[in-house]
Structure 1
Amino acid sequence: MADTEAPGYGDPSPKRGGWITFPFMMVPTLLGLSIASFGWIINLIVFLIEEFNIKNIAAAQISNIVNGCISMFPFVAAILADSFFRNIPSISASALISLLGIVLLTLIAFFDNLRPQPCETGPNLCQSPSKLQLGVLYAALTLVTIETAGTRVTLSSAGANQYEKRKDQGSFFNWYFLTLGFGLCAAANLISLSIFISGKRLYNHDKPMGSPFTSLIRVLVAATLKGKHAVSYKEEDYHHGKEAKTSTAIASKNFRFLNRAALETEEDIKQSGNSNYNKWRLCSVQEVEDFKTVLRLLPLCLAIVFVGTPIVMQSSMMVLQALVTDRGLGPNFKVPAGSVLVMSIISSCIFIIMNNWLVFPLYQKLTRKPLKPLQKVGVGQVFIILSMAISAVVEAKRLKTVGNEHPMSVLWLFPPLILEGIGEAFLLPANVDLFYGEFPESLRNTAASLTSVVIGISYYLSTALINLIQRTTAWLPDDINHGRVDNVYWVLVIGGVLNLGYFLVCSWVYTYINLNDGNDQKQYLKDVTT
């Protein structure tokens, strides 16, 4: 890989990038994103209920909104990194901001006057948090959310940029999501920042190339302005710009109306003698094809939104279920309600390792071809649907034990969480691998953030779905012992099956462009131009 380091970073002769950068990327991921972030994320619902006296369902909705912001904000950070800044400075600045947020959360937990007084007896005697207390809480959550915006996606993209081969990039994404699996303490932010910066001389430093979204908008504008011109099938009628030697030879036939953006009209030819042609009337073929690539991936993004919704709803409901189960393990230990979600994380980590070292190699050995990203996503969706179904069965069983002397053990919640973790082990790395590999190179950070964006949308859809269910049914009261959460899970199962059918159709019609380091691109171009 060519060294893209900017001047001023030392001797450019040594080779940079590759697996030597792996520990410098993974340790910040483990300490900063896993330990520091997941520690407060998974306990947020319980914290809101027990420390801020917020009702159960409302706490779940607030948690969904916060998690939605955590997933959506990285998209903004990715745009800024792709357009103006570099990955490394973005990550460093975000980690510093995160440290401030974690410290503020720690102060909230330490000082009693930053939280409302504990409830005395019954929910009617609970003191609501003051505006000041809520303001401090929201300020802390905002700061730690900014951290994820600057690091969660740009760190994954910066890590993948260190490798030339698509196979190595896919392996990196597996290890990246593996390291997102554990979390304990806030001091990890400071440690992770130091380790990350110490490896800067070894990184391939990307350079900002201006906003790639401007190029996408220009394609749409240029195609609209030339709407009356007929689409040509001759290569010489199209503009290739500075990428003439490397860009696509001819515009593909899919989304043919966009080809007009690269069509050289008489007005464009008059300006061909100078380089100051109107870029809002004439785009290169490569820019047009990049725009088409984004359009072709949008239906798959929608499928991820609808598989993400049951996942985030299950996470919220599981915490509320854990609060009303027997969480005692032995005479001296009680499982924290928020910690039950760790089972999903541990399961995901274990199966990412198994997939990388056993399942995927074995599949390739038996079939003589690798398991493609969309196939992995489909397998993951099946596990998610199974998880929802078992959750419904478990909750129905729990409701039968309400009022008994011995409530149902929290251990019954573990099987569906394990299945969810297996599903995520297939889904998440494959989604990022797909978008990172298929998106235009100028949109790599944006591609890496796309999965996070659609998951963020899933959190908002989950909040909306909870509102809808509360308004139309009696399934989700504040005390879920008097509700029917099992029916909610069955609704998610039905939605999951429908979404799986939609996803299979999208996968069937989708043609990979960059899979296998560009070999599929040649086949794709051959298919669309013949």
Structure 2
Amino acid sequence: MELSNSGDGEAQIPTSNRKQGGWIAFPFIIATMGSLTLAGGGWVSNLVVYLINKFNLKSIDATQVMNVVNGSSSLFPVVGAIVADSFLGCYTVIWTSAFISLLGIIILILSATIDSMRPQPCQINGSGLCPSPSTLQYAALYTALALGCVGTGGTRFTLGTMGANQFTRPKDQGTYFNWFFFTFYTATVIASIAIVIVQDNVSWAWGFGICLLANFLGLAIFFCGSPFYKHVKPESSPFTALARVVVATIRKRKVSLSINYENYYFGPSGESKIHDAVPTESFRFLNRAAWKVEGDTKPNGTIAKMWNLCTVQEVEDFKSLIRIFPLWSSSIFLGTPIGIQASLTVLQALTVDRQLGPHFTVPVGSILVISFISAAIFLTLFDKFLWPTWEKIWSKHPTPLQRIGVGHFLNIFSMAISAIIETKRLKLAKSQQNMSVLWLMPQLVLVGIAEAFHFPGQVALYYQEFPKPLKSISTAMISLIVAISFYLSTALIDFVRKITGWFPDNINNGRIDNVYWMVVVIGVLNFGYYVLCAWLYKYRSVDQIAEDA
């Protein structure tokens, strides 16, 4: 991941002599990303333990709250992206969201330091005689979590879009996304180890306090880089244009089309070149939206009735979303097993022997860090070793679809390993033996390698293939997948909990291994669906990567 000294992507603002965009803005955006991820990861990583030990929630209930938090943190990037693309731009959304997350962490600190903001501790461990949180205590807790989710979600992928906007070459954008995810995983690793250790061994208040400091530092760094950013201001809501395509198509559903390009609307005064946007044959019925009939345009060439006519480019943008939707949907059941595995691994970690050596016990909240370490290491190896080797063998860089496909396969393999290891853990538990925490690591290493393949691959694919007015939405699409996946994993766990006996309060009496085998079957079916979608998909613009490499 070598930084380019190219000036590509840099822009000059007429009122300033200072260079903006390109690699000069890179350190500020990446440092902001690292600090805010450290803050968010610090309070999320150990949340299940905090809810169980300080709010007296049952383990399964705490896990479900954790899934909702993860899902919400991944849903709000989509909201932030819509606001950024349509109204405020990335810059405003990022600093506003960072400030909101700051407020959420402050409330968490108060809940950890003020006794009246949390229930009294259990008098007898394991007796079940634990006071439940009051309505006000729940309200304060959920307010903190909601603010944290909004703030974390609003910055995460909007920063990714703003960083990619600093460059014009796909190769530089691809390098940036690799660094973006490397920073994300590295900061998450630090948060999941260092901050969790502070929370477990010093105090929750000090742990949340470090999160507050990291959040404040990220906000300060972001503001310091303001003079160097290239800003892309939203012109209008891109979703209005998409809606206009649908309405115009319906209104002209009886219009007959021909191959005469002169009857299509390319823009005012014909300024748009036909070569920039040609009406394609796929989803041909949508071309009616750009077909001119009497009364659609004014004498100066502008549109007379906005909901009757669209440009060819707007129609083709709408088609590109339809084409990529099946590929995007295939990733939902790629993320769902990851959400289930994360939740269940935390519960498994509570029952295994976490002692490593005479003086160190692995914190439960840090167990998932193995997957982040694995992903960060392999992201580094990709640029240095794997991709050059791939190019020597195949004479070209791996496509985003190939990277995503490898991620699918490794993810299924990871779930199968999880099932096998859980079967072993149950056998040991029934014979009054305790399995070492090290047995949980192979599945996490594999899922980390899988994420190193498919997450950057998906972001690169969506950023390149989505229409220009939807760039913020493009990078947030992976976040939407994660959100749906966590919500779906929560619903799936609830469903299995109701119809089977696999999820008792004591997982040693359950069959979590069957849950893992269930998601393996789902993953195999979904992989077949992905292969079909990838085989049928035709790149819109990613082919330019090879030309710019």
Question: Shared fold by TM > 0.5?
Answer: yes
1:201 matched to 2:204? The reply is no
1:440 matched to 2:444? The reply is no
Q: Which residue of 2 aligns with 1:149?
A: 153
Q: 1:38 & 1:265 partners in 2: Cα distance? A: 56
Q: 2:347 & 2:9 partners in 1: Cα distance? A: 52
Q: 2:401 & 2:27 partners in 1: Cα distance? A: 29
Structural mapping, 1:260-409, within 5 Å: 260-268=288-296, 271-273=298-300, 275-409=302-436
Give the SS at the match of 1:265.
Answer: coil
Match of 1:91 among 90, 94, 97: 94
1:174 matched to 2:178? The reply is yes
Q: 1:276 & 1:299 partners in 2: Cα distance? A: 33
Q: 2:151 & 2:294 partners in 1: Cα distance? A: 51
Q: Which residue of 2 aligns with 1:210?
A: 236
Conserved 8 A contact 2:33-2:218: yes
Deviation (angstroms), 1:247: 6.1
Conserved 8 A contact 2:9-2:169: no
Match of 2:539 among 503, 512, 517: 512
Count of aligned pairs: 516
Q: 2:12 & 2:148 partners in 1: Cα distance? A: 30
Q: 2:58 & 2:134 partners in 1: Cα distance? A: 15
Q: 2:546 & 2:49 partners in 1: Cα distance? A: 50
- 1:363-418 per-residue CA deviation (whole Å, 9 max, x = no partner) reads 01221111000110010111111110010011000001115454111111011000
Q: Which moved more, 1:144-153 or 1:485-494?
A: 144-153
Give the SS at the match of 2:352.
Answer: coil
Q: 1:249 & 1:341 partners in 2: Cα distance? A: 46
> Is the alpha carbon distance of 1:303 and 1:276 closer, same or farther for their aligned partners in structure 2, counting shifts above 3 Å?
closer
- 1:62-106 per-residue CA deviation (whole Å, 9 max, x = no partner) reads 111111111111111101100111211221121112111112212
Deviation (angstroms), 1:127: 1.0
Q: Which residue of 1 aligns with 2:202?
A: none
Q: 1:403 & 1:73 partners in 2: Cα distance? A: 43
- For the aligned residue pairs, the C-alpha RMSD in angstroms reads 1.8
Q: Which residue of 2 aligns with 1:527?
A: none
Q: Which moved more, 1:271-280 or 1:487-496?
A: 271-280
Q: 1:96 & 1:6 partners in 2: Cα distance? A: 28
- 1:151-206 per-residue CA deviation (whole Å, 9 max, x = no partner) reads 11110000001111111111111111111122233111111111111111111111
1:38 matched to 2:65? The reply is no
Give the SS at the match of 1:16.
Answer: strand
Match of 1:410 among 437, 441, 459: 437
Give the SS at the match of 1:383.
Answer: helix
Match of 1:237 among 226, 244, 263: 263
Identity rate, percent:
48
Deviation (angstroms), 1:511: 0.8
- 1:420-479 per-residue CA deviation (whole Å, 9 max, x = no partner) reads 100001111111111011000100001111110111001111111011101111111121
Conserved 8 A contact 2:170-2:545: no
Q: Which residue of 1 aligns with 2:59?
A: 56
Give the SS at the match of 1:280.
Answer: coil
Q: Which moved more, 1:217-226 or 1:116-125?
A: 116-125
> Is the alpha carbon distance of 1:374 and 1:276 closer, same or farther for their aligned partners in structure 2, counting shifts above 3 Å?
closer
Conserved 8 A contact 1:247-1:285: no
Q: 1:464 & 1:100 partners in 2: Cα distance? A: 30
Give the SS at the match of 2:279.
Answer: coil
Q: 1:348 & 1:132 partners in 2: Cα distance? A: 40
Q: Which residue of 2 aligns with 1:523?
A: none
* Paired residue type of 1:408: M
Q: Which moved more, 1:496-505 or 1:352-361?
A: 352-361
- 1:498-518 per-residue CA deviation (whole Å, 9 max, x = no partner) reads 111100000001011111437
* Paired residue type of 1:373: P
Deviation (angstroms), 1:492: 0.6
* Paired residue type of 1:133: Q
Q: Which residue of 2 aligns with 1:423?
A: 450
Q: 1:65 & 1:90 partners in 2: Cα distance? A: 23
Q: 1:196 & 1:273 partners in 2: Cα distance? A: 45
Deviation (angstroms), 1:124: 2.4
Q: Which moved more, 1:272-281 or 1:249-258?
A: 272-281
* Paired residue type of 1:279: M
